[in-house]
Structure 1
Amino acid sequence: MTHIRTERGGAVQALNAAGLTAAAVRHDCVLVVTHPVGDLVPPGAVLVEVHGGRPAPDPSQVTGLIALGTERAVEQDPAFALRVLVGIAIRALSPAVNDPTTAVQALNHIEAFLHTLGRTVLHAPYAIADEHGLPRLVVPGRSWEEYLQLAVTEIRDYGADATQVCRRLRALLEGLLDALPAERLPAVRAELELLTASAEQRIGDPARRATALTADRQGIGGHLMSPPAGPTDPAGPG
């Protein structure tokens, strides 16, 4: 195995998969990219591993097929677009801003992103083969669980005690349960459990907690999706 290192650091913005695959075919090798698009790679770090190959490909040609820049870019990095939306939401939830409505609006876009991604085949990592079916390029990928955690973890951390945000986040997760394939659902259920636990820990008043744990796509004021179960009044109505 040969290591190809980058002379300069930077964020991995994109890679030329067709060019890297063609280089691997020419040299009869497998190229393994060690960092996913979006990673910040320090100078001198291994960027590609070369398995096989006689002779090994020219390092400068290989590194020239991977774009490094000063910051992440969205063209081949959907996680960065998601990261931006989450950043908007958590800034809105900071004590200095205190704008949960903006966080709810960001969750609207995050939900659309997750519904699309949840129906997409994801591989972590994924391999690209040549015309004969031989793997030639291996690229790191992200799993559904990683995307989902990115989408909701920090918003839950900063917004679980904000009624509007908690309700909208619950509606988002319950909507995913109704729409996505079965293999995606365990991670969604786990996030619902974490949301419930966070609200129970941080909202002391039972009535307010029950309100916060009711799913509502508008946060407050929309159609209630799942009123939380609670004890019934033994005296009955009236």
Structure 2
Amino acid sequence: MGRIMSAERLRFVFNRFRERLWVKPLGVALLSIAAVFLASLADDTSLARLFPRTAVDSLETLLSIMASSMLVIATFSVGSMVAAYNAASSSATPRSFGVVVADDVSQNALSTFIGAFIFSIVAITAVKNNGFEAAGLFVLFVLTALVFALVIFTFVRWVDRIARLGRMGSTIDKVEAAAAEALQRRRRAPTLGGVPAEGAPVGQAVFAPSVGYVQQIDMYRLQAWAEQAGRRVRVVALPGAFLFPGRALAYVPGPAEGVDHDEVAAAFDIGDERLFDDDPRFGLVVLSEIAGRALSPGVNDPGTAIDVIGTLVRLFVQWRAPCPADEPARPIHDRVAVPELDIADMFDDAFTAIGRDGADTVEVVLRLLKALHALADTGDVAMAAAARWHARRALACAESRLPVAVDLARVREAGAFAGPMAAD
């Protein structure tokens, strides 16, 4: 069966290319080569006699300056970007590397510098070999001036960005944006475009062909197979699930005959690491890791943990907000059943580590309890239950580690909304 390239699949593939530093520079380099050859076409137009004459020596000098300087700037930009990536991985968490390396401004800057270098090399080679007449030289001069202007604008903009890239605040913002995008996408399609899964899964189990994480599910491919086979599919491994021998990807109700295990398993992209795209819980995990590292004795930065708590509250409020009437995606894969995300699991991803690692820091515990109190008052029953459970857990951790009676009294007052620990 041929693979269907759906819009979701194309988005997934496009995002993987965005994380490759060579893609944009290669595209701009090819574009710059094409620009040089297109300039020579001006010599063959009827407007060639209207172009002013351009001194070859001045153009060669300009291109030589660009060629010698752009390679240096490109090398400098690569070094600065690598330093920023290392800073993001060491100060925040290595799991944030994917969103930092996909920074558009830095990639565009590197692409512009390399493209300008390639443009100048190709152009000066063509000029020295008499590849242009008067009209072509003038068009090439205009293109060179435009490239210079673009380089200057890009460099100034990039310097402002590189000063922030890799800093803790910038990394948190990028992770929040990636998590918010994944949450909004899942909020619009809680079952990935399929129908809600009900009851326990039954039927023929389809197991993972390898060990790793589910990165994406090709729902169109599952639907196409189910329609062709006249069967239904029950997904049990959502994006972000860790797979190992004996862990089922999906179940196909009915007899074993006619179940194409390889085709069903092929609809699941499995990789060595989790990705932000279709895994909203991964963004929550990364934010929690950033807070946990900030609360470690070697860093001792409770302010960052407090910032992360505020970020998590924003994300959960956005998740709980009602979907506009024109936003929800109606089920289009009626033969594929998919479970929805469990809000209790999402709270575990977000707040378990912070409640444990920040239990001996009164300002972190207070902010965490106030945040959970705010989430408990959103009106969502499941979210309120999860918030109260984590508040009771955070309070229990604090009671075992806070040495000052006054601080402990304040924490108990802030956590009073959750009730006693035994009330579950």
Does residue 196 of the first structure (1) align with residue 395 of the second (2)? yes
Aligned mate of 2:304, from 93, 98, 102? 102
Rate the CA distance shift 1:2–1:212 in 2: closer, same or farther, 3 A.
closer
Q: CA deviation at 1:213?
A: 5.2
Contact 1:21 1:136 (C-alpha < 8 Å) held by counterparts: yes
Partner of residue 178 from structure 1, selected from 377, 394, 397: 377
Aligned to 1:26: 228
Gaps of 5+ in 1: 122-127, 216-225, 227-238
Which whole-Å deviations, capped at 9, do the CAs of 1:121-176 have from their partners, x for residues lacking one?
A: 9xxxxxx9678xxx622334431111112211110011022122112101211111
Counterpart for residue 212 of structure 2: 10
Q: Which has the higher helix share?
A: 2
TM-score, normalization: structure 1? 0.75
- What residue number does 1:162 align with? 361
Residues 187, 44 of structure 1: alpha-carbon distance in 2 compared, 3 angstrom cutoff:
closer
Residue 67 of structure 1 aligns to a residue in which SS?
A: strand
The aligned counterpart of 2:351 is 152
Q: Partner residue of 2:314?
A: 112
SS at the partner of 1:94?
A: coil
- Equivalent residue for 1:36, pick from 238, 250, 270: 238
In 2, Cα distance between equivalents of 1:210 and 1:49: 51
Quote how far apart the aligned CAs of 1:73 are. Answer: 0.7
Match of 1:51 in 2: 253
RMSD value over aligned CA atoms? 2.7
Distance, in Å, in 2 between the alignment partners of 1:88 and 1:58 is 42
What letter is aligned with 1:73?
A: L
Moved more, 32-41 or 91-100: 32-41
Alignment partner, residue 136 of structure 1:
335
Query: C-alpha offsets along residues 40-95 of structure 1, whole Å, 9 cap, x if unaligned?
Result: 21257532322137962433322221111110111110000100000000011111
For 1:52, what is the secondary structure of its paired residue? coil
Deviates further, 70-79 or 9-18: 9-18
Local SS of the residue matching 2:354: helix
Secondary structure at the aligned position of 1:21 is classed as helix
Letter in 1 for 2:223: T
Question: Which structure is richer in relative contact order (CA contacts within 8 A, separation 6 or more)?
Answer: 1
Secondary structure at the aligned position of 2:377 is classed as helix
Deviation at 1:214, TM superposition (A): 6.4
1:79 lines up with 2:278 in the alignment: no
Partner SS for 1:85: helix
In structure 2, what residue type is equivalent to 1:196? L
Change in CA separation of 1:101 and 1:5 when aligned onto 2, cut-off 3 Å: same
| Contact 2:226/2:335 (<8 A) preserved | yes
Change (3 A) 1:196 1:45: closer
**Sequence identity (%):** 29
Aligned mates of 1:23, 1:77 — CA distance in 2: 24
The whole-number CA distance in structure 2 between the counterparts of 1:146 and 1:119 is: 19
> Structure 1: how far apart are the matches of 2:376 and 2:204?
45
Distance 1:37 1:18, change over 3 A: same
Say if 2:240 and 2:275, in contact at 8 Å, map to a contact too.
yes
SS at match of 1:210: helix
Q: Answer with 79-88 or 38-47: which moved more.
A: 38-47
CA distance in 2, matches of 1:200, 1:137: 47
Alignment partner of 1:62: what SS? helix
Change (3 A) 1:174 1:4: closer
Extract unaligned runs of 5+ from structure 2.
1-202, 324-329, 417-424
8 Å CA contact retained: 2:378, 2:384: no
Shift of 1:27: 1.4
**Counterpart Cα distance in 1 of 2:387 and 2:208:** 38
Aligned residues between the structures: 207
Distance apart, 1:100 and its partner CA: 0.9
CA distance in 2, matches of 1:190, 1:44: 32
Q: C-alpha separation between the residues in 2 aligned to 1:68 and 1:154?
A: 27
More strand by share: 1
The aligned residue for residue 68 of structure 1 is 270
